[in-house]
Amino acid sequence: EAQVTQNPRYLITVTGKKLTVTCSQNMNHEYMSWYRQDPGLGLRQIYYSMNVEVTDKGDVPEGYKVSRKEKRNFPLILESPSPNQTSLYFCASSSSVSSYNEQFFGPGTRLTVL
């Protein structure tokens, strides 16, 4: 089954404790992306990757890191989480960055930073 998986689905942590949210896709997609969803702000792009070893900042990259060492994986790293990073996070992938390719989204990771 073609899918984007994220882990964990729910996470409660404390300020400053490094964490990683994993994302994996099995569709051989080139383009992968991370979004956060906040009330009244919709979905905002954090980072995206055009292909292996190619990553770039989206609209809200501060406080986040990513890596793309393999085509299928695109982990999101919070080196020192803060309460303002409490949010719902989505990973997405598409076959390319072309406008005409829809993005497939993972189920989401709800993160709470205390």
Q: Does 58 bind other proteins (CB under 8 A)?
A: yes
Q: If binding is defined by CB under 8 A, does position 64 make contact with other proteins?
A: no
**What mask of x and - would describe binding to other proteins in positions 2 to 21, judged by CB under 8 A?**
--x-----------------
Q: Judged by CB under 8 A, how many residues of this single chain contact other proteins?
A: 27
Residue from 33, 60, 74, 111 in contact with other proteins (CB under 8 A): 33
Is position 40 an interface residue for other proteins (rule: CB under 8 A)?
yes
**Alpha-carbon span 103 to 91, nearest angstrom:** 10
**Residue of 28, 80, 74, 22 lying closest to 48 (CA atoms):** 74
Phi, psi for residue 63 in degrees, rounded to 5: 90, 0
Cis peptide before 75 (omega within 30 of 0): no
Cα 76 from Cα 4, distance rounded (Å): 14
**Residues interacting with other proteins, by CB under 8 A?**
4, 31, 33, 35, 40-45, 48, 50, 56, 58-59, 90, 92, 97, 99-100, 102-108
